[in-house]
Amino acid sequence: MPKKAKELSSVEVRRLTNAGRYPVGGVAGLQLLVASSGSRSWVLRTIVGTKRRDIGLGGFPDVSLAQAREKARSFREKIESGIDPVVERKLARQAIAAAQAKQLTFREAAVRCHNARRAEFSNSKHSSDWLSSVERHAYSVIGDLPVGAIDLPHILSVLEPIWRTKTETARRVRQRLEAILSWATVSQYRSGDNPARWANNLSEVLPAPGKIKKVKHHRALDWRDVPSFMSDLKNREGVSARALEFIVLTAARSGEVRFATWDEIDLKNKVWTVPAERMKARKDHRVPLSDSAIALLERTPRLGDLLFTAPRGGVLSDMSVSAVCKRMKVDATPHGFRSSFKDWARNCTAYPDEVSELALAHVNSDATRAAYARDELLDKRAKLMSDWARFVEAPIEKGEVIGIREERA
């Protein structure tokens, strides 16, 4: 029978300062380990299964003699019950580490979600705006909260202050909150319903955006006034004026024109192909070019890859093109000429609606989707754009409306 260790007192334990192992009694296998450096720690020497183990119980005097004996008894009871306390402690540490790894803050989740979606943005400005709007309106409220703890009251605390006063901004922020929380769910940082979801959720506690404030559309020039505007525009000098002229002739978006390059232009076939990454619909868009648009390009000097190069090089800014309208004292934006074109097509032509919709790269209806699936109605659109060019360049008297040749489907 093994010799039973003498049960030492606390005072006797404190006197153990020479390097070595000292059984302290009270629990079989409990020892005080004194290192050559002078540090002291508790060890339970025992057998677990078929292996001898030295199980650390903490340092002395942080762990007192009484506490060491209590821990040692608890561990021996687990061993006798078939539990390996070392393995149990390791699994507990792993569980804590896993739980801590899931304590991702909303701020961190927003950045990771943004990085995951980066390729979806059409340009750096859209990418920056996406995250900056979340930073401005959400970070101060929920930025430091664990993303898994965010619920409906938190989302409302972000949206309610701006929902009625900055409705369009609030609508976009809500969409981005929903995307971030959806990313967090798929990435297993949270579970359950998405509290930023609109349908059957926020729709029950917030008024619909359309009921609060109507969407502010880009200011557009009356279609009847476009010819006189174009006549004045042709007399304006500068690359921004030429870019705006091309915008009007093609009914394209400002960004599509400002970033356009010469290799996108097929002068022989009179087609400009805008790549998908620059299109709102994320699909290559072919634009038939009228003779007027071709003539404009032929007069434009080639100063690099871009059709219209800024005076100091690089891409024209949206502001520089908009400034042309301001200098001409016209209450319209470059984007607004798309509305002018659409109103003209509806009032003065008999082209089917999907023809002008495709010209504007709108894919909002079954008809335009079907047309995209076929041939994009390119021939009809070429005739439509030629008619539009003839209209905007026709000399007119004030109040006179030029008759437009109708093209039946």
Residue ranges per domain, the chain? 10-97, 106-212, 223-393
Indicate the helix (H) or strand (E) that contains 131. helix 124-137
Could you tell me which of 323, 333, 324, 272 has the C-alpha nearest to residue 297?
272
* In 349-377, alpha helices (H): 353-359, 366-373
Dihedral over Cα of 93, 98, 104, 108: its sign: positive
Strand partners, 43: 31, 56
Integer angstrom CA distances of residue 204 from 161, 198, 215: 17, 8, 21
Integer angstrom CA distances of residue 33 from 23, 66, 78, 172: 9, 16, 23, 63
CB atoms near residue 22 (< 10 Å) = 17
Q: Which residue has the tokens 């109605």?
A: 377
Say which DSSP state 103 is in: -
Q: Which phi and psi angles does 52 have, rounded to 5°? A: -80, 135
Q: Are strands 285-288 and 40-48 parallel, antiparallel or unpaired?
A: unpaired
> How crowded is the C-beta side of 358, counted as CA atoms within 13 Å?
29
Strand partners, 285: 274
Dihedral over Cα of 385, 314, 268, 369: its sign: negative
CA 224/CA 195 separation, integer angstroms: 48
CATH of 10-97, one of 3.90.1150.10, 3.40.50.10310, 3.30.160.390, 2.40.37.10: 3.30.160.390
Q: Which amino acid is at 217?
A: H
Q: Could you confirm whether domain 106-212 is CATH 3.40.50.300?
A: no
Decide: 256 and 278 in contact? Cβ < 8 Å.
yes
61: preceding bond cis by omega (within 30 degrees): yes
- pLDDT tens, position by position, 114-128: 999 988 887 777 888
CA 369/CA 252 separation, integer angstroms: 19
Q: Could you confirm whether domain 223-393 is CATH 1.10.443.10?
A: yes
Full pLDDT tens readout for the chain, 409 residues: 346 678 888 888 889 989 999 998 888 889 999 998 889 999 998 888 778 888 888 889 989 999 989 988 888 888 887 888 777 788 777 766 666 556 789 999 999 999 999 888 877 778 888 999 999 999 999 999 999 899 999 999 999 999 988 888 999 999 999 999 999 999 989 889 999 999 999 999 999 988 875 555 568 889 999 999 999 999 999 999 999 999 999 999 999 999 999 999 999 999 999 998 888 767 888 999 999 999 999 999 998 899 999 988 889 998 999 999 999 998 889 999 999 999 999 999 999 988 998 999 886 555 555 555 566 789 999 999 999 999 998 755 444 444 445 444 4
Residues shown for the chain:
409
